[in-house]
Amino acid sequence: MGVKQPLVSVERIEQAILLVREEKVILDAELAVLYGVETKVLVQAVKRHIYRFPPDFMFQLTKEEFDHLRSQIVTSSRWGGRRYPPYAFTEQGVAMLSSVLNSPRAIQVNIEIMRAFIRLRRMLASHAELARKLAALEKKYDAQFKAVFDAIRQLMAPPAPKCRRIGFHSEEGE
């Protein structure tokens, strides 16, 4: 008996998780793709059960937030012709979606999304633990190791996002 493959890859889910208003969220269009439904079907199901989605489970982005997000993410084709800003679902909101979208696929995808959120939380916790241990070591040892600690901190820092310049670029000019 083999291990059952998930319907959606972990990497795909992790790419869909964004940080908005200091919350880790997944937007309605991304969830719709993961669940294999149209965005409007997902939103309609949520609106029919809106009492299940308090503001800490789901919120609608402001126009400014949405415009900023679109400018950050180049591949926004499925967000193109929207008449309203998307809804953002927190981890709890995603969990609640499984009761609203009660299909076998929705349940399986929800399980994978919950696992991705848990993995992300564990990674962040281990990173915080490492930073705390480094600070303790730094206090314990004198300035002779300052350069080593600075180098380690630089290695721990998340990479800066790559920004592509807009416009035509010649091969020589880059």
Name the residue among 9, 42, 25, 31 with its Cα closest to residue 112: 9
Asked if residue 99 is part of any domain, the answer here is yes
- Asked whether residue 98 is domain-assigned, the answer is yes
**In the prediction, which pLDDT does 99 show?**
81
Cβ–Cβ under 8 Å, residues 131 and 156: yes
User: How far is 45 from 117, CA to CA, in rounded Å?
Assistant: 23
The mean of the pLDDT values for the chain is: 78
- Which CATH number do you get for residue 54? 3.10.260
pLDDT in tens, 15-61: 888 888 888 899 999 999 888 889 999 999 999 999 999 999 999 99
Contact 31, 42 (CB under 8 A): yes
SS3 95: helix
Domain of residue 25, residue span: 10-123
Tell me, yes or no, whether 25 lies in a domain.
yes
**70 vs 89, residue with greater confidence:** 89
Task: Kindly state whether residue 97 falls inside one of the protein's structural domains.
Answer: yes
Domain count, the chain: 1
Residue 76's pLDDT band (cuts 50, 70, 90) = very low
CA distance 43 to 39: 6
- pLDDT (mean) for 86-103: 87
For residue range 116-138, what is the model confidence (pLDDT) as tens digits? 888 877 877 777 777 777 777 66
